[in-house]
Amino acid sequence: MENSKLPVFMMTIVAIIVGVALYKQFDFSTQTFANPALSVVYGITFLFAVFLLVRNYRKTARK
């Protein structure tokens, strides 16, 4: 049974949405985040989604 592409697609959408939200939270003039606690959650979620995408890409590149 072949792996489904749906989890990769979903993680890509999650990474884009959370990355944009994290970018909007950052104030470039003061170099701070508007909501630091929420930004930490966004950052962890973004890094996790990117980690899963990279891990899946490396696994498919070996095959």
**Containing domain of residue 50, as a range?**
5-62
Task: Return the bridge partners of 27, or none.
Answer: 32
Number of domains, the chain: 1
pLDDT at 51: 94
Which helix (H) or strand (E) segment holds residue 41: the answer is helix 36-62
The pLDDT of residue 2: 58
Query: Which pLDDT belongs to residue 7?
Result: 84
Cβ burial of 57 (10 Å; 0-12, 13-18, 19+) is exposed
Q: Tell me the pTM.
A: 0.83
Q: Using CA atoms, how far apart are residues 29 and 26, in angstroms rounded to an integer?
A: 9
> What pLDDT score was predicted for residue 1?
42
Tens digits of residue pLDDT in 1-60: 456 677 889 999 999 999 999 999 999 999 999 999 999 999 999 999 999 999 988 888
pLDDT given for residue 15 in this prediction: 95
